[in-house]
């Protein structure tokens, strides 16, 4: 079992302010990330629930619980990520670095090994990797570069 964090780094043709807004403004997050987000504020201690329907099978839905743990406006946001009714607790961090009119985003997801794929195969590391790659390479890139 891998205990290294999943890390993906990409550079977008968009200013850092635009990328920051895309990852912290609920209306923008709903467009590229998860439309089910009920509430979101980039404030340390803020908690929210994201009820994601299970599209893979008729199994249980994925009720995400997020708690903001760190915010450096325009640069970094981190939140705990866990699933209701399941063991495991992880940390997702988005870090932004301006490079002229471009932005380098580094997403790090630590603690993936705390989720048990034996209880739910959707918790396999490959699924997190595939999901994040789709969000970061596809949806977010298209959203901020449009």
72 contacts: CB under 8 Å, gap ≥ 6:
none
For residue 81, what pLDDT is reported?
96
98 contacts: CB under 8 Å, gap ≥ 6:
15, 16
The yes-or-no verdict on residue 97 having pLDDT over 90 is yes
Q: What domains does the chain contain, in order, with CATH numbers? A: 6-145 (3.30.530.20)
Residues present in the chain in total:
146
Q: What distances in angstroms separate CA 91 from CA 32, 56, 87, 88, one per listed residue? A: 20, 24, 14, 10
Nearest-angstrom CA–CA distance, 109 and 73? 19
Across 32-44, average pLDDT: 95
Q: Report helix, strand or coil for 121.
A: helix
46 exposure class (CB count in 10 Å sphere: 0-12, 13-18, 19+): middle
For residue 93, what pLDDT is reported?
98
Structure tokens at 31: 């467009």
The whole-model pTM stands at 0.93
Across 18-25, average pLDDT: 98
Nearest-angstrom CA–CA distance, 106 and 5? 12
The residue among 94 and 3 whose pLDDT is bigger is 94
Q: Provide the mean pLDDT of the chain.
A: 93
For residue 64, what pLDDT is reported?
92
The yes-or-no verdict on residue 1 having pLDDT over 80 is no
Q: What are phi and psi of 90, to 5 degrees?
A: -130, 180
Nearest-angstrom CA–CA distance, 122 and 118? 9
The yes-or-no verdict on residue 2 having pLDDT over 70 is no
The yes-or-no verdict on residue 111 having pLDDT over 80 is yes
The residue among 93 and 38 whose pLDDT is bigger is 93
């Amino acid at each position: 079992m891998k205990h290294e964090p999943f890390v993906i780094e990409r550079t977008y043709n968009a200013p850092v302010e635009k990328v920051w807004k895309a990852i912290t403004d609920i209306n923008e997050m709903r467009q590229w990330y998860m439309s089910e987000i009920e509430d979101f504020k980039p404030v340390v201690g803020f908690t929210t629930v994201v009820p994601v329907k299970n599209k893979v099978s008729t199994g249980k839905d994925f009720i995400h619980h997020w708690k903001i743990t760190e915010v450096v406006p325009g640069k970094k946001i981190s939140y705990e990520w866990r699933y209701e009714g399941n063991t495991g607790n992880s940390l997702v961090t988005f870090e932004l670095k301006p490079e002229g009119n471009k932005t380098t985003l580094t997403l790090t997801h630590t603690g993936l090994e705390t989720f048990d794929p034996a209880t739910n195969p959707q918790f396999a590391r490959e699924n997190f990797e595939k999901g994040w790659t789709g969000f970061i390479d596809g949806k977010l890139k298209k959203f901020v570069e449009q």
